[in-house]
């Protein structure tokens, strides 16, 4: 279930970021990476296309990962 939510959020982020031409360069799935035990639920997602990193904002943590899910 968690992977489905991540896929949906990632697809929506790419869609609304105006990066239509570059979307083909991005992977279709990004692993969630290592999350803190008490991170809580996902509250927000931001993609830094220039540096190809993703920021995920949880209730109790901010997690930065690359496109392979590595912190």
Q: What is the number of structural domains in the chain?
A: 1
Does 54 fall in a domain? yes
Which pTM value belongs to this model? 0.59
pLDDT digits (tens, 9 = 90+) for 2-50: 677 777 777 777 666 655 445 566 677 777 777 788 888 889 888 887 8
| Interatomic CA distance for residues 46 and 56, integer angstroms | 7
User: What domain range is 5 assigned to?
Assistant: 1-21+40-71
Does 27 fall in a domain? no
């Amino acid at each position: 279930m968690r992977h489905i939510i991540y896929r949906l959020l990632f697809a929506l982020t790419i869609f609304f970021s105006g990066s239509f031409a570059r979307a083909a360069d991005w992977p279709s799935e990004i692993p969630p990476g290592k999350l803190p035990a008490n991170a809580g639920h996902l509250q927000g997602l931001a993609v830094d296309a220039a540096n190809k990193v993703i920021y995920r904002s949880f209730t109790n943590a901010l997690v930065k990962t690359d496109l392979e899910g590595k912190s």
